[in-house]
Structure 1
Amino acid sequence: MGNVFIIFSQQISYTSQNLYMSDIKSFPYFYRTVPNELHLWAGIGKLLKHFGWNWVGIISMDNDRSVRAVQILTEVIEQNGGCVAFHKIFRQQSSSEFFNQVAEVIDEPSYVNILYLNENFAFKEEEVLRHCFLLYPGKVFIAIERMEINQKLILRYDMVNNTFMFTAHRSDMQNFIKYIREMKPVSLLDNSYGLKWWLGLCDGQCPQNIKRQCNLTNVYTPREKDHFGSHCHTTHFGNSYSVYNAVYAVAHALHDMIISGSRNGTTWTRENMEFLNYLPWKLHRYLRNLHFKNGLGEEMYMDENGDLAIGYDIINLIFMPDKTWKYEIVGHYNPHAPPGQDFIIDEKAIVWESSFTQTPPQFKCCSSCHPGYRKLLVTGLPICCYDCTPCAEGEFSNQTDMDSCTTCPEDQWTNKKRDACIPKVIIFLSYEEPIGIALILISIFFFLITATILGIFIYYRDTPIVRANNRDLSYILLISLMLCFLCSLMFIGQPNEASCILRHTTFGNTFSIALSSILAKTITVVTAFQATKPGSKLRKWMGSRVSNSIVLSCSLIQTVLCLAWLFTAPPFPYLNMRSEIGTILIECNEGSVIAFYCVLGYLGFLAGVSFIIAFLARNLPDSFNEAKYITFSMLVFCSVWISFIPTYLSTKGKYMVAVEIFAILASSAGLLGCIFFPKCYIILLRPERNNKKYLSKT
């Protein structure tokens, strides 16, 4: 093999990166001072991922090594979120046919093209340059081998900066460079290739640390001058660094083997010679466990596959305006380095082609999905080709090209762009908003009206119309209605533990007192009519004690229900995060739904009994009969609360509370207007009718 040292049945290669050679079962005695291609593909994957390039084309030759290598490369590209737009396999053929086919493939809509043209590729470098650099501006090429440049081509063509190359890591060997510069070419006179290589260092294009000042007249003919090579541009003199490490590796392994065999130092004895002659296979163990420092002071060791643990240099081929060029190391990839330090790229050192409108260029099958959107795969296309769809409500994405959106926490919602979550808006029926102010004014207005009517009844307490149907019950009913109007204010404002407990219990008790008073009034009307009949035994039930007992007992039952509610499962403030999109509704949870409906049901029972009794007594002959007014008031009361139920269930948020307050105010106003407005009309506007003679007319 031309690129290996064969030492005692051990093979140490300084160029081959063939991944098959890393199989220690098939090649247990094969070593190399360059990394294998598995690391090369991982490094290319890192480079593609770093720049976000996911639309890749691969060009390779038709051989077993290429098939396996491209398979692994494809897996690496897909693992890093990329797609292979095409993979074109070419057979060794005439250069013109080959490049015509390459031109057709590269014209396809892919921009990053990986050239896997290994050592079997033998076309002329001029044709490679013309097709890979000149005809396709606006694309990027990644090569796995260094491309040597002929100065004549640069003078002839306009090159573009669009190529990266991965080469095994190399370091400057100053002593070697010094030796090359100072050596005498006498030993090379019989080696035409070696002589041309040495004469190439006299080229004016060579860097100063390599270039030598030569008197060439006595060494070469004018014709030979045309054959000056460009190897002085090859960083670190090509494979010299790998050869250097290979020699050091063998030397250290032999040294360790001799020391181990002689057991008494490094003295060269006949015993050492016999050890080398009869146990050559012993060198394998020392190469496998090799760990040394080379002449440059670098730590060197073999990994588990027998490969020297070094990485790759990422090189940018840069063409200067003055028709010169250089290889610029712009990054490194070392799989043996600690995580986070294995891949390093210096974007500032990269020189991009002038036709790129954006640097680094963005090479993708489709535009990136901005934050607030997610990728939507399109059937029949690779995963790199997708549409962008906005995140759903309550979901966000804060990075580009997100596969899925993230759901916001329960107490947060997405902003308009859906690229972040913001706290949900907290809502409740407040005192500051218009609907809250309107309800407050209405409540206070009716409270004042009720207080005024109470004052009128107290002032005219001795008039027949006030005394009719139990004056005390009228006072109790008016006071309870005042409290009903005021209790609606407890439903406005931010709910807390105290307000939630007082809301429904106060509402239930005040309304039970009002309805109990109306029930007592209705019973009083019926009793008064029946007591006037001759021989009636109901006269003893005419007193205020009976009516007050009705009010007290009926109200006490509601109080017991409310206390049972509070001791078992009292109402509490609750953050409703699902009532309205993007909001948190602070509301009062009933605690016990059964207790809540028992309280409301009891109010409905009182209202129903009062309505039935008043309806039956509506046509009693006395002019002061309140039964007809109570009947109408109960009809209004029941109508309000029956219509309240569907309205309440069809509204959301703070408007549910507003509907409940409106029902309280409307039903209370109905009772006040139907029962007391007719009496106030007679007291204030028709005082002549406020006498016993008029009221006794039938």
Structure 2
Amino acid sequence: MRGSEREMWITLYIFLYLSFNCVSADSILKSGTCQLQGRFKLNGMYQDGDFILGGLFHVHFFTVFPELSFRTEPEPPYCEKFNIEIFQQAQTMAFAVNEINKNPKLLPSITLGYHLYDNCVRLGIAFRAAISLASGTEESFSNLNCTGPPPVIGIVGDPSSTPSIAISNVLGLFRVPIVSHYATCSCLSDRKKYPSFFRTIPSDAFQVRAMVQILSDDDYGIYAAQLFQQEMQLFGHCVAFSEILPHDNNHRDIQYITGVIQASTARVVVVFSTSSFLIPLMEEVVLQNITGRQWIASEAWTTSPVYHTPRFLPILGGTLGIAIRRGEIEGLREFLLRLHPSNDQKNNIVRIFWENMFGCSFEKGGRAIDGEQVKKVCTGQEDLSITETPYTDVSGLRAAYNVYKAVYALAHALHELMQCEEGRGPFSGNSCADIINLKPWQLVHYLQKVNFTTGFGDHVSFDKNGDALAIYDVMNWQPSSDGSIRIHTVGVVNKGAATEMVLMLDEDAIYWNFKSKKVINSTRQARRKGLPVCCFDCLPCRDGEISNITDAIDCTVCPDEFWSNSDKDQCIPKEVEFLSYKDPLGISLTTASLLGTCICALVMVIFAHHRNTPIVRANNSELSFLLLSSLKLCFLCVLLFIGQPQLWTCQLRHAVFGISFVLCISSILVKTMVVIAVFKSSRPEGKGTMKWFGAAQQRCTVLVLTALQVVICAVWLSTASPTPHKNSQYTRSKIVYECAIGSVAGFSMLLGYIGLLAAVSFLLAFLARNLPDNFNEAKFITFSMLIFCAVWIAFVPAYVSSPGKYAVAVEIFAILASSFGLLFAIFAPKCYIILLHPERNTKNAIIGREAQKK
């Protein structure tokens, strides 16, 4: 069946379905109330909010239909074979919604909710779920004016192409935004047919240029075949064989296909299909022992673990395939482990997951799970942290990462919609959308213009067809030590907004089923001046350029994130550089940070144990403990500077650094002021001085001085927050992953305020250094502030001249050096007396020395 015919029948089915399931207009007019004819029984998961996002996921593998009977009400179908990996994707959507609700910068005045359904990999159920999301699940409603927000403002899913076509055909009429995370059929890029369809996974159009296909008989395969044939005609290649696999996987057809493959002289077989359709084909290939072929896998089965057993290694070893770009989501694993079943029927899918995970039942007397009777009772207290399943494994997030981006795309679109200023809006009369009576089609306008960067550093936007910009990992199936197949990343397929698709492979890392002897010249022709065109020299390509064809006129410049290899015949991903915990430098700085923290803790223990002695009580022991606590924060803030920059670490590192150092310096400043006040109060003309420097005044001064730094940090982060940035300006062959400070003025004010407090502290301590007081800390404070100022004055030129990760190391060194200087200069003399000369830590000894001084 051709694609257009399939769409026609789907639309006709939907029309008939809606016709027989709607109440008549007369009944509506008479009763004034709309009544649902029936309620779909769907597995779902629900969380309330001001605006609801819908989600469609195939959490079960199969659908079982009860026997038909027209004498009783038909029983709904039920689903079997729980898919834990897909449930992780559904939970990822829940995580993204909760993360957005906690983000004060994104949708600060509203909360998002979600309503997720299981489509059981069945078109009918997927369509029922979509209709339930779009129309709501209330049994009846009397608001015939259709005011208020819609049941959902957008839908994440469906993950499959055919259900996405059916759903978009209907919901697209009402411009309900749909953002799929896994539907790749290039047919969905038709903006006229699917005006509100978007996706965070690239279209199949970016895979087909390199593939000879054996295809499955669905929309995914049909359109991929058409695109491939167009591409091959464009490039003048000859297609030796192309076949469409039927849905029933007839054994005779599979034998025919394997026979053609075996008889063909072709040595490269490109398979564009889903994993489930390939299983019987590959079994037949193994049975026929068809070896010596290089298999090229489409995205749908590149990472499928079904074929990674030793029996497939002689056949499929060396397979090259394209996989969805892998991402990382901070905090997802902890969220997944916090899942707990409830009695809420709207979240019945969580209970089903729990029963399948632990082999128990919440129903009295047990129940059948996937055909097996289970009588073990679920307590709800089972521990997810001890399980090792695809649900808790977040090391290879591909589809789940696309779900995460889809939720954020809808959230950013809604956020931009809410920022609209009346009179400057995009709608008729320059109006804005009414947030109280929001229409989904209004959100589509903003979704088309979405442009943001995830916390992992990936850019998200949509082209004019609603497609995400293509980026894939190129995977290679290689033998492991135990004889099975292990997948390795050997390259990247990338397409920028203004560039064509670029395939970058590290051929040295590829395991082939056969070896190629082809020689590639990494040179270009350079014409000799004053001589005919045929006279030229062969010059090697420059760094960052490649040539993999003979007699090339010019070398090809590698894209921004790639660099030429040593042979100048391939563009390989640039090395990403940042100060890592695995680097010797990172390990050394981390060790120094933890050592300083431990020393601070040890001094606090010593001071706490000797808290009633004169040395500790001098100049307000409370300030000493506050100073030690702030020094611990100074040492610990170093850990935020080490590791791959994330959005939250970039925002926190300088804020924590600035606040902790101001707290430290303000404590020292108040200590110095207390020394001066004590000396003045000992003279007749200054007896009332100490009443202005009591314990309450000291705490208040420290609090006010620190609060000013908090305000500076808050303004900086809210106006021009630091963000992760990939910088290739330092070294063209490397990408330096760093934190862009966002605002030079904000960073300068933060450092300037610290410098101001340090200068005032140094000046006061210097003036009070010779005061005749045995408890006088001014001389030690003077020395400590001298070290502090010297370190930070030397920091500025060293920081500016240091490239890449070494700039971060210089900043960390300045933090550690100044922190150790303050710690040892102020507290080492006191600890020396407390531990080694306790006879000098008495009131009599101090009075005796005072008498000698007089």
Per the normalisation by structure 1, the TM-score is 0.46
Per the normalisation by structure 2, the TM-score is 0.38
